[in-house]
Amino acid sequence: MEILGASLRICVDDLETAIPFYERLSGGRALRFERGGVQVAAVGSFLLMSGPEAELEVLRKVTATIAVQDVDAAHRLLNDLGAHILAGPVPTPAGRNLLAMHPDGSVFEYVDQHPA
């Protein structure tokens, strides 16, 4: 499995106020989408999220989003290494993802850009 990059997950109260700061900081434009009632903006290496507190409480438990070439390959390797797959692989607006708890208890989201 090749790790292509990582995104820092940041929960914000007001997405519209946060986006301009992160766009200027990263020099990129926000890619916006909604998932499960949560508004999301991907800006450079940052994944900004805003929405109902109950949803954000769950999202805060995920340490980071890891971009990989192929979520299926990540799934196989994570299983082989003793990680616990919490969800997925499932389709997303940009590809597929899965949530995995590593043996140390940390939780990561793994994503690819392959349509389901």
Tens of pLDDT, residues 57-114: 888 999 999 999 999 999 999 999 999 999 989 988 778 999 999 999 999 999 998 7
* Helix, strand, coil % over all residues of the chain, rounded to 5: 25, 45, 30
How long is the chain? 116
How would you classify the pairing of strands 38-43 and 31-35?
antiparallel
Mean pLDDT, all residues of the chain: 92
Confidence class for position 115, pLDDT limits 50, 70, 90: low
DSSP 29: P
Pairing of strands 3-11, 46-50: parallel
Distance CA 108, CA 74 (A): 12
